[in-house]
Each structure stands twice: as C-alpha cells, then as structure tokens.
Amino acid sequence: MDLKMRIPPERVLAMNDTLETRIRNAATAGWWTLLIAAGFLAVQSIAYLFLMSAKPAWLLAFWAHAIDWDTFGRICFWHLAIFKLCIWLLALPVLWLTLWARLLQKQRTGA
C-alpha cells in the first residue's frame, strides 16, 4: 500500500496552500520587523550624532562620571555596529522565506 494512493490530491493541494500562506505571512512579518529595526537604528544613529556633538553634562552623570566622552562614543559606536550586524543576519532568513514563498506560488500556479 502506497501512502500517496490513500491521500486524495485535493487534500495535498490544500496542505501546500496552507504552507505557502504561512511562509508568505512569516516573510511579511520578517520584512516589517526589518523595517522597524532599520527605523530604530536610524533614530539611534541620529541620537548618537546629536549627543556626541552636543556633549551634555547630564549624560555623563547617568554613568556616575565613571566614563569620559571617548569611552561613551566607543560604547555607542559598537552598540550601533552590532545592532546593524544583527539586522543583516535577520535579513538572510527573511529573504530566504520570501524566495521560498515565491517558489511555492509558482509550483501551485504551474508557471
């Protein structure tokens, strides 16, 4: 007994449609996450540039005067660099999900 003979073809198509829908929704959610993360990174970069040019005294008071402006600039720079790297690492699976959803859609339509 072959398993494919017992499953009606319309049921297999319905499962593929559900998978395609879920993958497409995951890709859409991933792109929105990337967009929000990129906006957040832009706001942080602008704040970094503003704070490093203004150098307000209250900012070092938050750190209890334990650091100077060079250390603060280095910490912020590395924070932004690592956050940008995380965004790029998130972009890879989102791109893969998008391409996979398109492939499933082409297989479904037979194009």
Q: Do the beta carbons of residue 72 and residue 48 sit within 8 Å?
A: no
Pairwise CA distance, residues 34 & 28, whole Å: 10
In the block, tokens 């924070």 appear at 79
pLDDT in tens, 95-107: 999 999 999 888 8
Q: Do the beta carbons of residue 110 and residue 26 sit within 8 Å?
A: no
Please give the model's pTM, rounded to 2 decimal places: 0.78
pLDDT in tens, 38-91: 999 999 999 999 999 999 989 888 888 789 999 999 999 999 999 999 999 999
Helix (H) or strand (E) holding 56: none
Domain extents in the chain: 12-104
Residue 6: which pLDDT band, with cuts at 50, 70 and 90?
Answer: low
Question: At residue 7, what are phi and psi to the nearest 5 degrees?
Answer: -95, 120
How crowded is residue 72: how many other Cβ atoms within 10 Å of its Cβ? Answer: 18
